[in-house]
Amino acid sequence: MIVMKFGGTSLGDPAAIRKCAEIVERHLSKKPLVVVSAHSKVTDMLLDAARAAVKGDVDGPFERIRKRHHDILDGLGLPSDTIEKNMKELHDLLRGISMVKEVTPRTLDYAASFGERMSSKAFAAYMRKRGIENAEAINAYDLGLVTDSRFTNARPLAESYERIPKAFEPHRHKLVILTGFIAKDKNGDITTIGRSGSDYTAAIFGAALGAEEIQVWKDVLGILTADPTIVPAARPIERMSFAEASELAYYGAEVLHPSTIIPAVKAGIPIRVLHTFDPEAPGTIICDRCEPNGAHPVKSIVYKEDQILVNITSTRMLMAEGFMAKIFNVLERHRIVIDMISTSEVSVSLTTDSEEGLDAACEEMREFATVDVEKGKAIFAVVGEGMRNTIGMAAKTFSAVAEAGVNIRMISQGASEINIAFLVDNKDIPATVRSLHRKFFGI
């Protein structure tokens, strides 16, 4: 079997949904399990509706959500009662929120869940209409996906991997259309696994069911050599390793939800990123063994903007014993997630994007250090397995940045040697991307 995941834009309107249906039909012999996101924009609409309900504004946002869905059903020639039960439940929920005048993360997840619950019903009904009578929408939590109770960003529990195959068994002969993004915790409350989490759902089910391949259908040609809005000549990377893909996801490539790779690596299942609107294009395959990119040791250039640089200098001349431990202790207590770090004899520099809690953490560290914070930075990473065996990659990287007239604030190279990461100002992003792409890809 294979897993085929379709994103929000791929399910954004009736014409797009028709394309997805044709793609599924072409893969029927491989016994696909289909995972769907909500129709594009719907998750945001639902979250906004929940927040508006706190202020007593229920019917306006609700009607907009209803219209968005009914327009799609109409366009597919499906009756609006396909999702009527969900609509009623959503309306009740919004009214409930307006009565208690409060919205908790738990309620937000409940509200957001309607997006995938309804899109899966619409897609299954449409597949049945096209003659695939055994198409059936099933919620991921009814097929064994259990998470912890960290609402809005819940983590799947390991037991899911045992429950899923058992729960799926009676449905093996069907075309299952599964909800991405949503799950339940052990109390039976609905959770979500983080924005854009449907990729992750696809990987979890792929791993749990031993799929041959996890296909992620999107509105891009694959994983690209650079951000195409800055380098229009950026091109899709045909093959990449799990390690390369993990580095890219970590450093901000938005093509895959960062956790997606983990279950796939563990189970050794290739992930293929494909284009719904150009389904014959090769896309990108991420797999276990992946030869370097021939002439190009670098596979891709990625960046993550709006990072915060924190410089911590010991107030004594030399770093006192336990200085590092103290720093990490404070950061951990305030749940500050660190991306890059570099140290010298008297100072530690690190980057994070966690704004929440940062002020409090800095205040605490000021008891034993001088701390300054600079916002508006961008982390860049140049990634490729081929870099490990190629001399002069750092020189090439930094000369490209220097040629762009850009100042580097911090540098780090992971022990795996498949990436070089550094920090610049947000405003220098375009010049840096262009210069690196020219240096490594000649365009």
Residue 258 sits in the site that holds Mg ion (CB under 5 A): no
Minimum gap (Å) between residue 136 Cβ and ligand ASP: 20
Residue 259 sits in the site that holds ligand ASP (CB under 6 A): no
Minimum gap (Å) between residue 403 Cβ and ligand ASP: 38
- Piece of the chain touching ligand ASP by CB under 6 A; list 194-202, 291-299, 302-310, 435-443: 194-202
Residue 43 sits in the site that holds ligand ASP (CB under 6 A): yes
Residue showing tokens 């990659």: 393
- Piece of the chain touching Mg ion by CB under 5 A; list 29-37, 159-167, 327-335, 382-390: 29-37
N- to C-terminal Cα separation, the chain? 40
Nearest 10 degrees: CA dihedral of 126, 127, 132, 136?
Answer: -100
Q: Residue 424: which of Mg ion, ligand ASP, none does it interact with, CB under 5 to 8 A by kind?
A: none
Minimum gap (Å) between residue 7 Cβ and ligand ASP: 6
Q: List binders of ligand ASP among 20-39 (CB under 6 A).
A: 37-38
Residue in 32, 61, 144, 180 binding ligand ASP, rule: CB under 6 A: 180
Any bridge partners for residue 215, and if so which? 4, 272
Residue 156 sits in the site that holds ligand ASP (CB under 6 A): no
Q: Residue 180: which of ligand ASP, Mg ion, none does it interact with, CB under 5 to 8 A by kind?
A: ligand ASP
Closer Cβ to Mg ion, 256 or 302, answer by number: 256
- Piece of the chain touching Mg ion by CB under 5 A; list 34-42, 74-82, 233-241, 252-260: 34-42
Residue 8 sits in the site that holds ligand ASP (CB under 6 A): yes
Residue in 9, 98, 160, 198 binding ligand ASP, rule: CB under 6 A: 198
Residue in 66, 130, 155, 195 binding ligand ASP, rule: CB under 6 A: 195
Q: List binders of Mg ion among 35-64 (CB under 5 A).
A: 37
Minimum gap (Å) between residue 438 Cβ and ligand ASP: 34
Any bridge partners for residue 373, and if so which? 310
Q: Residue 181: which of Mg ion, ligand ASP, none does it interact with, CB under 5 to 8 A by kind?
A: ligand ASP
Taking a C-beta distance cutoff of 8 angstroms, is the pair 7, 37 a contact?
Answer: yes
Minimum gap (Å) between residue 405 Cβ and ligand ASP: 37
- Piece of the chain touching Mg ion by CB under 5 A; list 3-11, 253-261, 294-302, 326-334: 3-11
Residue 115 sits in the site that holds ligand ASP (CB under 6 A): yes
List b or e across 266-277, with b for residues whose CB sees 16 or more CB atoms inside 10 angstroms. ebebbbbbbbbe
Residue 8 sits in the site that holds Mg ion (CB under 5 A): yes
Residue 181 sits in the site that holds ligand ASP (CB under 6 A): yes
Residue 409: left (phi > 0), alpha (psi -120 to 50), or beta?
Answer: alpha
* Torsional sign, CA 77, 79, 80, 84: negative
- Piece of the chain touching ligand ASP by CB under 6 A; list 64-72, 99-107, 142-150, 196-204: 196-204
Minimum gap (Å) between residue 82 Cβ and Mg ion: 22
Closer Cβ to Mg ion, 219 or 238, answer by number: 219
Q: Going by DSSP bridges, is the β-strand pair 239-241/419-425 parallel, antiparallel, or unpaired?
A: unpaired
Q: List binders of Mg ion among 180-239 (CB under 5 A).
A: 196
Please report how many Cα atoms fall inside a 13 Å half-sphere around the Cα of residue 204, on the Cβ side.
Answer: 33
Closer Cβ to Mg ion, 36 or 436, answer by number: 36
Minimum gap (Å) between residue 43 Cβ and ligand ASP: 4
Residue in 10, 196, 314, 352 binding ligand ASP, rule: CB under 6 A: 196
Residues of the shown chain interacting with ligand ASP in the complex, contacts defined by CB under 6 A: 7-8, 37-38, 43, 115, 180-181, 195-198
Residues of the shown chain interacting with Mg ion in the complex, contacts defined by CB under 5 A: 8, 37, 196
